[in-house]
Chains A and B, each alone.
Chain A
Amino acid sequence: MKFFTKQLLLAFILIGVNLASAQKGEESLENQYHFPQDDHYLNIKIGGDYVQPMGNTFTGDNLKSSGGFNLELSFNLFETPVLLGARFSSSSHDVIDQSLVGNYDETFNSFIGGFAGYQFFSRQKLRLTPSIGIGHVTYRQSINSNSFRDSGTTFWLNGEVSYNFVKWFALYGNVTLQNDYLKMDVPAELEDYFKSGHFVRFGLGVKFVL
C-alpha cells in the first residue's frame, strides 16, 4: 500500500512537472485558446464514483467495491490556476466476512474536507487538475437500525481531466486515492487491521464554472 501511494505521488509530481513545462512552452500560442482569461471564481462539481477498496486492512480485505457520490465546490485563488475548495464524497460497501468486523452487512463511508489544486491549461478546453486534500472521514454502520460509527482523518490525492464544452460547463473524470486513518480503540492484534482504510475512486461527472 505504501509502495502504491509513493508511486502515485511520484506520478503526480512527474505529470505536474511535465505539464508545467509544456504550459510554459506554449505561452506564445495563447491566442489560439478558446477561452480568454477566466474571470470565474467558483467551480461546482457533481458526479458519480466507482469506489474500489484497497490494501490489507479492513477495507481491502473485507469490503466490496461499489458506486459512490462526489460533490465539490472550489474557487480560483486571485485569478490564478491555484484552486482551493471543499469536497464531500460517499460510498456504501457490502461487508464480506462479518466475523472480522461485526454483525453488520454494510458500511457507509463518507468524508468531507478541504483541498488545494493546480489547474493546468486553465484557459483551454481540456484542463488537468491535480489536487491534494484533508478532511474528516466516517464509516457508519447499523445493527437493526441502531447505528454507530468509526471515524478519523482522511488524506486524498486526486488527478482530474476536464473538458469544457462552453465556458460555464464541463465534463470531468478523475482518480482519487483516499487514505483514511482511524482513531479506533481496539485490542493490539487488531490495530493494524483497523488503523487505516484505503480506496481508489474513479469519478465521472459534470462541472459548472460560475
Chain B
Amino acid sequence: MGKLFLVASFISLLMADCEPNIENDKRVIIKGEIVDAQANPIQAIEVTSSVEEYVLGKTTSNTDGSFEMVAPESYDQSFLIAINVDAENNYTSAKIFRDEDQIGRPKIYDLGVVTLRPTSNFTLTTTRNSTTSGHVNVQINYLSTSCVYDFNNGLQEDPSLCYEQNYISRTTNEINSNLDLQVEVIRDILLQITYQIDEEPATTIEVTPNQQNFEYEIFY
C-alpha cells in the first residue's frame, strides 16, 4: 500500500511538471483592433491567449473592432495569442507568438490593428456522368486562411508564414465515384483546380470564390 502511494505520488509529480507554468502574482493586458481589408471594424471576433491547452484569457471584439482583456501570464515557449482561431465568423485567423529574445517580457501586448480577410466555404464536387470514364484526380491549390505573426514591440508580419500556399488532392475510385471536397479559402482570391480524367492530359482552371458559400462542380 505504501509503495503504491509512493508510485502514485511520483507519477503525480511527473505529471505536474509537464504542465506549463502560469505565473503567480502577474497579469498582462492584451489589446488591439480588428478590421477587414477595407479598414472596417469587425465585431464579435474571439481573441484568446493560451499556453498549450490552457486558455489564460478570452474576450471578443466590440462593435468598433477594439478588444482588451486582462490575462494571467506564462513564460512558456508555447504562449500564443490567437484571433478567430476557430474561424467561426467567416474571417481568416491570426496567431501571434512572443519574440522573447527581442523584447523580454512585456506587461502590455498592444497588437495595434490586425487585418482579417473574409473567407468562403468552397465546395468542389465531381459527378460521373460518363460510362467510359474511369476515375478523376482533383487537386485544389489555395491560400491558407491563417496568418502567423511575431510580437516584437507590436505585431511583426512574417510573410513566409502568412496565407501560405496550400493544396488538397483526392482521387475517385470504384467505390466512391463522386467527390465532395470542402475547404475554407480566402474570399475573392483566385484558386486553381487541376483535374485529370483517366490518363488524359491534366486541365487547370481558375476560380474566384466571391460568396460566403461557393460551389463548383466538375462532370466527367
Q: Place the interface of chain B in its size category.
A: 20 to 34
Given A103-B55, A103-B57: A150 in contact with B24 (beta carbons within 8 A): yes
A130-150 interface with B by 8 A CB criterion: 141, 143-144, 146-150
The reply to whether B55 and A184 contact each other, CB–CB distance below 8 Å, is no
Whether B53 and A184, one on each chain, are in contact in the complex, defined by CB atoms closer than 8 angstroms, is no
Distance A189 CA – B25 CA, assembled complex (angstroms): 16
Residues of B close to A149: CB separation below 8 A: 24-25
Contact A99 B27 (CB under 8 A): no
Chain A residues within 8 Å of B71, by CB: 102-103
* Residue in A closest to B22 when the chains form the complex, CB atoms: A148
Q: Does A194 contact B (CB under 8 A)?
A: yes
A window 148-191: CB within 8 A of B: 148-151, 182-187, 189-190
Interface pair A99/B26, CB less than 8 Å apart: no
A143 touches B25 (CB 8 A): no
Count the A residues whose beta carbon is within 8 Å of the partner chain — how many?
24
Task: Please provide the chain B residues from 94 to 141 with a CB less than 8 Å away from any CB of chain A in the complex.
Answer: 107-108
On whether the beta carbons of A186 and B27 are closer than 8 Å, the reply is yes
Q: With A102-B71, A144-B53 as known contacts, state yes or no: A194 contacts B27, CB within 8 Å.
A: yes
Q: In whole angstroms, what is the CA distance A146 to B107 when docked?
A: 21
- The interface residues of chain A lying within 8 Å CB-to-CB of B28 are 186-187
Q: Considering the chains assembled together, what is the distance between the CA atoms of A185 and B25 in angstroms?
A: 6
How many Å lie between the Cα of A147 and that of B19 in the bound state? 10
B168–chain A nearest beta-carbon distance, Å:
33
Whether the pair B22, A190 counts as a contact (CB closer than 8 A) is no
Q: Which residues of the partner chain A approach B23 to less than 8 Å between Cβ atoms?
A: 148
Q: Mark B2-31, 1 if CB is under 8 A from A, else 0.
A: 000000000000000001111111111100
User: Is B56 among interface residues, defined by CB-CB distance under 8 A?
Assistant: yes
Check: B82 CB closer than 8 A to any chain A CB.
no
CB atoms of B27 and A143 under 8 A apart: no
Tell whether, in the assembled complex, residue A146 and residue B57 are in contact, meaning their CB atoms are under 8 Å apart.
no
0 or 1 for each of B50-80: is its CB under 8 Å from A? (1 = yes): 0001111111000000001111100000000
**A143 near B55 (CB under 8 angstroms)?**
yes
A144 touching B54, Cβ below 8 Å: yes
CA distance A146 to B55 in the complex (A): 10
Q: Assess whether B25 is in contact with A102, with CB atoms less than 8 Å apart.
A: no
Contact indicator B29/A148 (Cβ below 8 Å) = no
Q: Complex formed: what's the CA distance from A60 to B28 in Å?
A: 20
- Chain B residue at minimum C-beta to C-beta distance from A143: B54
Q: Is the CB of B25 within 8 A of A99?
A: no
The listed residue (B26, B54, B58, B69) touching A186 by CB distance below 8 A is B26
Q: A37: shortest Cβ distance to chain B, in Å?
A: 48
Please, how many angstroms separate the alpha-carbon atoms of A182 and B21 in the complex?
Answer: 20
B193 to chain A, nearest CB (A): 41
- Tell me if A100 is interfacial: C-beta within 8 Å of chain B: yes
The residue on A at minimum CB distance from B58 is A103
Which B-chain residue is minimally distant from A144 (CB atoms)? Answer: B54
Which residues of B sit under 8 angstroms from A185, Cβ to Cβ?
A: 25-27, 107
The yes or no answer to A15 lying at the interface (CB within 8 A) is no
One of B59, B68, B72, B107 near A148 (C-beta < 8 A): B72
Q: Residues of B at under 8 Å CB distance from A?
A: 19-29, 48, 53-59, 68-72, 107-108
- CB-defined A-B contacts under 8 Å, sample of 17: A98-B58, A99-B58, A99-B59, A99-B69, A103-B57, A103-B58, A141-B72, A143-B72, A146-B19, A151-B25, A183-B25, A185-B25, A186-B27, A187-B27, A187-B108, A190-B29, A190-B70
Q: Which 3 residue pairs across A and B have the least CB separation, nearest first?
A: A148-B22, A99-B59, A187-B107
